[in-house]
């Protein structure tokens, strides 16, 4: 055993569990690939200011949870705590918005980092798949992304999840609400950190999970009562499009989420089997973020779905994914001459698309067959000197126990037929 361990709050992905994570990532990405979203990948670290300006200095993410470092050249960098700001920065830097085909639709997958108190479903290193649609203000785009997330969850077999939906207004109607909310919050018995937050972004106080704070928020002014007519109409169209697509949702007037850049549509997916860490993903519209980080006006919308949380949700519902076996055929040579011939067959099978493994280390038949069974293979391909002299190999079905001789030049064709 190594003297080193994974850092506190992180985890290693190893087989067989890693196959589940890969399947979840692929399931989330599949609806995006079918809907015109192209893949984008960004660095694991960015300038600190990208997140302090984009995510918001008053957020816990920036003020308490970012991993920051100073380079030898004096640059202040941060491990990325979320994906949207990085993706938008990359899109702007590459001038994707100038190609003339808006919205720019992108999806990504990767690891993100926040210094949090580790607990089930909350890690300091976590995995997400995200999607962003940049440069267009359209309720149908908001609805599209929400529907794609729902379709991804359903494709995995998840049922015990709910969609929470809200509107945060825009620059026209939010100032009046901000003033009304600040007036209410200033009269409450709150700690100094929370009082500072009232002056920077009072909506963040509504997202405070502490019971002592939530009790005092009873009777707080609601944003829905301050939405302008344009925001009301926009939100109603999103709701109507979701309903028409058969997507159920719960209107949650207190839903704010933990990032400052959201405007209008905001949403969250929660799962009933995850306890206090119930959120499995979420997102919303962020029409002003591009300008916050020095770009042009580019109204945009996006989401990020937690891979770790989704895996926990699958376990909570007792869902076992139907994963393809890592090995279809396990090849066992008996003797030095057979080793060369069988290794050549293994290479042919792999190139033909048949998942094949080889009994490395010169194992005897008994140990090799134990390895074949442990590998999960369906077939064992066995050959000794006598078999080769007759121009055949033995193909054994590890489920039925049936064994047949197959001509050397027919092995690939036979296994491809059985695979099909």
Give residue for tokens 């918001």.
56
Question: Cα(269)–Cα(164) distance, rounded to whole angstroms?
Answer: 6
Partners of residue 302 on adjacent β-strands: 132, 284
Annotated binding site: 82-84, 114, 128, 132, 257, 261-262
Q: What are phi and psi of 382, to 5 degrees?
A: -120, 135
Contact at 8 Å (CB) between 385 and 340? no
Q: How far is CA 57 from CA 60, 70, 113, 200, 304, in A?
A: 8, 19, 17, 9, 21
Radius of gyration of the chain measured on its C-alpha atoms: 27
Name, in order, each residue with C-beta under 8 angstroms of 331's C-beta and a sequence gap of 6 or more: 342, 343, 345, 346, 349, 356, 357, 358, 359, 380, 381, 382
Q: Give the residue among 241, 249, 321, 244 at the shortest CA–CA distance from 282.
A: 249
Instruction: Give the tokens for residue 318.
Output: 């007792």
Q: How many CA atoms within 13 Å lie on the side-chain side of 372?
A: 27
| DSSP secondary structure letters along 207-253 | T---HHHHHHTTTPPPGGGT--HHHHHHHHHHHHHHHHTT---EE-T
Contact at 8 Å (CB) between 213 and 250? no
Partners of residue 282 on adjacent β-strands: 268, 304
Question: What string of H, E and C letters represents the secondary structure of 25-53?
Answer: HHHHHHHHHCCCCEECCCCCEEEHHHHHH
DSSP class of residue 122 equals: B
Annotated binding site for L-histidine: 82-84, 114, 128, 132, 257, 261-262
**Full strand arrangement of the beta sheet holding 263-271:** 38-39, 104-113, 125-134, 300-306, 279-285, 263-271, 161-167, 250-251
């Amino acid at each position: 055993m190594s003297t080193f361990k994974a850092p506190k709050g992180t985890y290693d992905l190893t087989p067989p569990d890693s196959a589940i994570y890969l399947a979840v990532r692929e399931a989330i990405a599949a609806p995006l690939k079918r809907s015109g979203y192209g893949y984008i990948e960004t660095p694991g670290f960015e300038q600190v200011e990208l997140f302090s300006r984009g995510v918001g200095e008053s957020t816990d993410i920036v003020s308490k949870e970012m991993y920051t470092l100073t380079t030898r050249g004096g640059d202040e960098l941060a491990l990325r705590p979320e994906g949207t700001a990085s993706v938008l920065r990359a899109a702007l830097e590459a001038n994707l918005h100038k190609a003339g085909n808006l919205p720019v639709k992108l999806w990504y997958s990767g690891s993100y980092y926040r210094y949090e108190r580790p607990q089930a479903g909350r890690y300091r290193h976590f995995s997400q798949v995200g999607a962003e649609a940049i440069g267009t203000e359209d309720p149908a785009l908001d609805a599209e992304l929400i529907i794609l997330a729902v379709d991804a969850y359903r494709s995995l077999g998840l049922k015990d999840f709910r969609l929470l939906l809200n509107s945060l207004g825009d620059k026209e109607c939010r100032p009046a609400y901000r003033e009304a909310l600040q007036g209410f919050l200033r009269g409450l018995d709150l700690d100094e950190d929370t009082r500072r937050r009232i002056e920077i972004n009072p909506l963040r106080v509504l997202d405070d999970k502490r019971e002592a704070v939530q009790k005092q928020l009873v009777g707080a002014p609601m944003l829905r009562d301050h939405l302008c007519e344009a925001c009301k109409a926009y939100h109603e169209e999103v709701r109507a499009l979701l309903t028409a697509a058969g997507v159920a949702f719960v209107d949650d007037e207190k839903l704010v989420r933990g990032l400052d850049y959201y405007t209008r549509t905001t949403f969250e997916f929660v799962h009933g089997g995850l306890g206090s860490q119930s959120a499995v993903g979420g997102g919303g519209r962020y029409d002003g973020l591009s300008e916050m980080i020095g770009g042009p006006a580019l109204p945009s919308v996006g989401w990020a779905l937690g891979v770790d949380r989704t895996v926990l949700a699958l376990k909570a519902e007792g869902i076992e994914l139907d994963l393809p076996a890592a090995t279809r055929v396990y090849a066992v040579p008996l003797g030095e001459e057979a080793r060369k011939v069988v290794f050549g067959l293994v290479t042919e099978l792999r190139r033909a698309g048949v998942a094949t493994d080889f009994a490395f280390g010169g194992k005897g038949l008994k140990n090799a067959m134990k390895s074949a069974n442990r590998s999960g293979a369906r077939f064992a391909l066995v050959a000794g000197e006598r078999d080769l002299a007759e121009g055949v190999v033995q193909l054994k079905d590890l489920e039925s126990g049936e064994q047949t001789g197959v001509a050397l030049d027919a092995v690939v064709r036979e296994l491809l037929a059985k695979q099909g």
